Amino acid sequence: MASHTYYIYSNIDFSKKSASQTRMLYYAKALANEIDSVYILSCSNNKILQKNFTEIHNNIFIQTNVNIISGPINSLVFLSKMYSFSKHRKGKKTFLLYPYPLLFLEIFSILYLKFFLGNSVYIEFNEIRKYSSSFHSKISFKKIKYSIKKISFISAFTLIEPLLYFFDGLVCISTNIEKYGRKYNKNTLRIPILTDSQLPFQKTTKTYKTSNRFNIGFSGSIAPSKENLRDFIEVLDSIINEGHKISFNLCGNIAKEYKTELSDKIKEKSYLKYYGNLSNIELSNFLSQQDLLVIPRGFTKQNNFGFSTKLSDYLNHKKIILVTDISDNALFIKNMINGFIVPPNDNQSMRNMLVHIISNYDEFNEKMIENLTETSEKSFNYTIYEKSLVKFLKN
């Protein structure tokens, strides 16, 4: 049987921990075997040589110590170097682009890598970038410079969407985004958020909870508009005023515009705890110590098309979860069976559900964890999608 090599590439630094890196590593594990290999590359000025890759799993290689570059010329040079490297490997090859707001790599992937060189090029379709602006301030005559920049971004992302037609296929993260993508390209494969339900968790001695309190955990990008954190904190305030003892524990990257506000809130509210941007081991330790894990996202167009990758991590850590009915959450989370789900932007429903969970926690904890563990194994384990992903990318 002839070997096949897959090249996953992006403007993202895949050598650093991120949700993007985690998802592409699951793809790599699904694709690699004794014959087929996966190379994960970042658009950089590094030499693309075998010795500059680290084999992190069997036949899965990732660039390390990369120097990220952008711009039209740099993007074209990177693609040329990647293609030259690929020619030295026997068998067939497939390229998979992980998109980024920088557009030149995307444009040249079609013009140069596909049309000029005749390669198979696919794209991961996990967000509609023109809607990402819904997390930011509205266009205003008081902010002319900002408004012009925002209009330019929305226009650029809108104009580039028809480019989806020319990719060999789209790997979509949700049903909504697959439906949207099929307007441009009928060759789609839906792969939801992924996890490895058999992955062992390493424990440390660090503590990420408060004794004698109900500990609610949140991990990932701490972006208030995207995650609806301001409203969620207001809900927690109302519950605490009723006498419930709560600790809201957060970890992850803080959005630049939210750092000062969050710092002020932590000083003002003793139940708010921020533990920094944790390593993979410490993140696992953090999640394992919480009583409840939450994704309180409100409704935005971006949230409705995307799918929060942290849900799979939450389920994998066998902890009770509370999410809002956004995107595909309701396809996998059944209220009172394997988790809790409430309407988005409904503070009263969120408040009522939290009180119910806190008051009755011991009654449903064991059975619900059994159900959510089954959901993780049967719906999100990357091994489920091995055959479909290989078949899709090899065709």
Domain ranges (residues) in the chain: 4-194+381-394, 214-380
Chain center to CA of 357: 27
Other C-beta atoms closer than 10 Å to the C-beta of 182 total: 14
Domains 4-194+381-394 and 214-380 share a fold: yes
- What Rg, from alpha-carbon coordinates, does the chain have? 22
Element (H, E) at 6: strand 4-10
Q: Is 136 left (phi over 0), alpha (psi -120 to 50) or beta?
A: beta
CA 12 to each of CA 82, 294, 306: distance values in angstroms, whole numbers, following the listed order? 15, 27, 18
Mean pLDDT, rounded, for 199-210: 85
| The domain made up of 4-194+381-394 is a member of CATH 3.40.50.2000 | yes
Q: What is the pLDDT of residue 197?
A: 75
What percent of the chain has a predicted confidence (pLDDT) above 70?
96
Range with the poorest average pLDDT among 5-9, 157-161, 357-361: 157-161
Directed axis angle between helix 347-359 and helix 229-241, to 10°?
A: 50
CATH number of the structural domain 214-380: 3.40.50.2000
- How far apart are the C-alpha atoms of 336 and 56, rounded to whole Å? 39
**pLDDT, tens only, 155-192:** 878 888 999 999 999 999 999 999 999 999 999 999 99
Query: Would you say 385 and 351 are in contact if contact means Cβ atoms under 8 Å apart?
Result: no
pLDDT at 252 over 80: yes
Query: What does the mean pLDDT of the chain come to?
Result: 90
